[in-house]
């Protein structure tokens, strides 16, 4: 490792109403691979976007080689020597490999582009990465892994000092990942500073020299990878002191599941999303899916709701084999799903609260069986009272409600379809504390009083511990553990997530 080339100090980033980053420091040395880690809402992508000029910073300094910089666009950042390679490759598929590396800075002869030199130099450059391909072929001839390496080659060619790799391995297989790592190590030797973002813990430990951890937009600390055990890393990411979590996590008044089985999944598999999982859900059970971001929690939920199809294994509901080939099928089997991204996948902003509430019921009934206005009003008012949704009246546009109340409306939408299984994917994200506990309580009450089964997905461990009677722990799209009843504690969860290592 060499000198510190990039220093970010006291970075604040304020979005209307929210302080996304507060007083964050970050250092990058030449010739190191440095990972930024954090759970959902840790704002690591915001930090990257401040660095690459997507967002301007509100406060703090960014110095590159002891000179303060103010990149306003990714292009300016690139000129300064900060290049980013995204998971979605930002190159032109219709141009040749060589041209993608050189476009914008083509060598010229007598004012005309010197194609021979471009092809020759690209060939040589890629050869140093151990990639020997026909560089005159267009980019869309090659797999994503190669495209990514070509994007890295471009960054090297434009003489980048800092290379940001944002989730580069999420669409690569093992072999491809290995080759990418060889290239990254080669760049390290050339004294480039590399920021590596990934949610695969194994890869972080294999590749990175240092780790900076963020939580809720604040800096937790900067650590040397070899000195930070995985359990501790997970503990720091989710915001728990390892000693304090050993204290008793009191499970208060949880729902007791009945013996009756609602859903049974045997060895279900979905390519690239979920790896061979068994799952049983009883009536009246609140079951939690835990794991880090990208571990396969949402993917599991989407399979249960028929958004993704399984290619192996079988699903049984009430002991009957079913095929959930689309969400409508799942709805007819009395399954309901409140998705993770409320704004994008949940609310229809320009419709009223009443319209949003009856949406799922109307879809289930069918387009031609209009729900009478009187009944709509009744249903909406019932829900508003029952869930204590704060609205001026039921015709208020949903986009004008607070996040917590929007979430309640989405839940209400599903409750009136009288589901037997309610899937809540991150129902409490971005919601104030009061509403959070209300939603948690509601999940437990529904299971208790109505015998509903609830699948609860959350990044916040406390929440899961308080509400769930069974936890499925996922890592890298696999089920790694199942924790029940008294076993459920922060310590056990974190151990399971980190891979059983102490």
Partner 1 sequence: MNIRSRLSTAIASQYFPFFVTVSLFIILYIAGIMNYRGFTHAQVFYNLFIDNAPLIIVTVGVTFTLLIGGIDLSVGSVVALVCMSLAYLLKNTSIPVFAAVPLVLLIGIAVGFIQGYLITMFDMQPFIITLAGMFFCRGLTAVISRNTIIIDNPAYAALASERIRIFDTGFISVGAIVAIIVLILATIFLKYTKTGRTIFAIGGSESSASLMGLPVFKTKILVYIISGFCSALAGIVYSWIMLSGYTLHGLGMEMDAIASSVIGGTLLTGGVGFMPGTLFGVLIQGIILTFITFQGTLSAWWTKIVVGALLCVFIIMQALITEHKNKLSSSSSIKSDK
Binding site for partner 1 (CB under 8 A): 74-75, 78-79, 90-95, 99, 103-104, 106, 111-113, 115, 133, 137-138, 140-147, 154, 173, 175-176, 179
Report in angstroms how near the CB of residue 184 gets to partner 1 at its nearest: 15
Closer Cβ to partner 1, 64 or 389, answer by number: 64
**Shortest distance (Å) from residue 176 CB to partner 1:** 5
Q: Which is nearer to partner 1, 145 or 472 (CB)?
A: 145
Give the tokens for residue 63.
């110095």
Nearer to partner 1, 101 or 457 (CB): 101
Q: Distance of alpha carbon 92 from its chain centroid, rounded? A: 26
The residue whose two tokens read 């069918």 is 366
Which C-beta is closer to partner 1: that of 75 or that of 246? 75
Q: And the tokens for 139?
A: 């980019």
Nearer to partner 1, 49 or 283 (CB): 49
Q: How far is the CB of 55 from partner 1 (least distance, A)?
A: 16
Report helix, strand or coil for 32.
coil
Rounded Cα–Cα distance for residues 48 and 26 (Å): 10
Q: Which two tokens stand for residue 226?
A: 């070899």
* Beta-bridge partner residues of 478: 275, 475
Tokens of 289: 């899916």
User: Any bridge partners for residue 314, and if so which?
Assistant: 266
Nearer to partner 1, 3 or 173 (CB): 173
Nearest distance from residue 28's CB to partner 1, in Å? 21
Nearest approach in angstroms of CB 95 to partner 1 is 6
Closer by beta carbon to partner 1, 82 or else 454:
82
CA distance 83 to 90: 11
Q: Residue 81 burial (CB < 10 Å; 0-12/13-18/19+)?
A: buried
CB 45 within 8 A of CB 241: no
Pick 91 or 287: Cβ nearer partner 1: 91
Q: What is the DSSP letter of 140?
A: G
Relative to beta strand 286-290, strand 453-457 is: parallel
Shortest distance (Å) from residue 86 CB to partner 1: 9
Confirm if 101 and 122 have CB atoms less than 8 A apart. Answer: yes
Signed CA dihedral, 110, 116, 120, 121: sign only: positive
CB of 79 to partner 1, least distance (A): 7
Quote the least distance from Cβ 164 to partner 1, whole Å.
Answer: 13
Strand 312-317 vs strand 320-322: parallel, antiparallel, or unpaired? antiparallel
CB of 276 to partner 1, least distance (A): 22
- For residue 105, the minimal CB distance to partner 1 (Å) is 9
Alpha helices in 13-143 (DSSP H): 44-51, 74-80, 97-102, 115-128
Q: What are the tokens at 382?
A: 């019932």
Cβ(447)–Cβ(453) under 8 Å? yes
For partner 1, the closer CB: 154 or 283: 154
Nearer to partner 1, 2 or 272 (CB): 272
Measured from the CB of residue 161, what is the shortest distance to partner 1 in angstroms? Answer: 16
Pair of tokens at residue 166: 């944002």
Radius of gyration (Cα) for the chain, nearest Å? 25
Comparing CA positions, the residue from 344, 348, 363, 343 lying closest to residue 417 is 363
Residue 238 parent element (H or E): helix 230-238
Rank residues 175 and 243 by Cβ distance to partner 1 and give the closer one. Answer: 175
Measured CA to CA, the distance from residue 392 to residue 457 in angstroms comes to 30
Question: First and final CA of the chain: distance in angstroms?
Answer: 29
Give the tokens for residue 238.
């989710």
- What is the nearest approach in angstroms of partner 1 to the Cβ of residue 130? 10
Which of 137/190 has CB closer to partner 1?
137
In this structure, what token pair is assigned to residue 405? 């109340």
């Amino acid at each position: 490792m060499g000198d510190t080339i990039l220093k970010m100090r006291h970075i604040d980033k304020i979005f209307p109403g929210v302080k996304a980053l507060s007083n964050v420091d970050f250092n990058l040395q030449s010739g190191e691979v440095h990972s930024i880690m954090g759970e959902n809402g840790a704002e690591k992508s915001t930090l990257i976007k401040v660095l690459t000029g997507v967002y301007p910073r509100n406060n703090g300094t960014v110095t590159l080689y002891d000179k303060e910089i103010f990149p306003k666009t990714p292009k300016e950042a690139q000129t300064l020597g900060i290049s980013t390679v995204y998971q979605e490759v930002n190159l032109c598929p219709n141009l040749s490999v060589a041209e993608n590396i050189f476009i914008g800075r083509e060598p010229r002869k007598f004012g005309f582009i010197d194609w021979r030199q471009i092809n020759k130099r690209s060939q040589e450059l890629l050869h140093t990465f151990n990639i020997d391909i026909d560089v005159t072929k267009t980019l869309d001839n090659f797999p994503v892994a190669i495209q990514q390496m070509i994007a890295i080659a471009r960054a090297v060619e434009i003489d980048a000092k800092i290379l940001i790799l944002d989730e580069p391995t999420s669409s690569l297989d093992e072999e491809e990942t290995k080759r990418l790592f060889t290239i990254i190590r080669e760049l390290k030797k050339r004294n480039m500073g590399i920021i590596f973002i990934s949610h695969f813990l194994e890869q972080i430990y294999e590749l990175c020299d240092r780790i900076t951890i963020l939580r809720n937009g604040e800096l937790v600390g900067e650590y040397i990878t070899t000195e930070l055990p995985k359990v501790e890393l997970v503990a720091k990411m989710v915001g728990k002191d390892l000693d304090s979590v050993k204290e008793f996590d009191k499970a208060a008044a949880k729902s007791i599941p009945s013996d009756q089985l609602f859903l049974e999944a045997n060895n279900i598999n979905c390519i690239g999303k979920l790896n061979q999982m068994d799952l049983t859900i009883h009536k009246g059970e609140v079951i939690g899916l835990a794991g880090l971001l990208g571990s396969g929690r949402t993917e599991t939920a989407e399979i249960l709701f028929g958004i993704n199809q399984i290619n192996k294994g079988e699903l049984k509901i009430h002991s009957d084999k079913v095929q959930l080939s689309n969400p409508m099928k799942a709805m007819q089997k009395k399954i309901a799903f409140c998705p993770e991204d409320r704004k994008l996948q949940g609310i229809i902003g320009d419709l009223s609260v009443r319209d949003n509430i009856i949406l799922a019921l109307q879809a289930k009934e069918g387009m031609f069986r209009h729900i009478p206005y009187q009944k709509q009003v009744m249903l909406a008012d019932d829900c508003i009272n029952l869930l204590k949704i704060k609205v001026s009246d039921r015709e208020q546009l949903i986009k004008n409600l607070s996040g917590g109340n929007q979430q309640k409306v989405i839940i209400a939408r599903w409750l009136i379809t009288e589901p037997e299984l309610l899937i809540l994917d991150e129902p409490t994200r971005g919601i104030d504390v009061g509403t959070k506990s209300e939603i948690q309580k509601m999940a437990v009450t529904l299971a208790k009083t109505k015998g509903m089964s609830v699948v609860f997905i959350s990044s916040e461990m406390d929440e899961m511990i308080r509400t769930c009677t069974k936890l499925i722990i996922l890592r890298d799209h696999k089920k790694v553990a199942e924790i029940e009843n008294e076993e459920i504690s922060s310590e056990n969860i974190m151990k399971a997530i980190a891979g059983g290592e102490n």
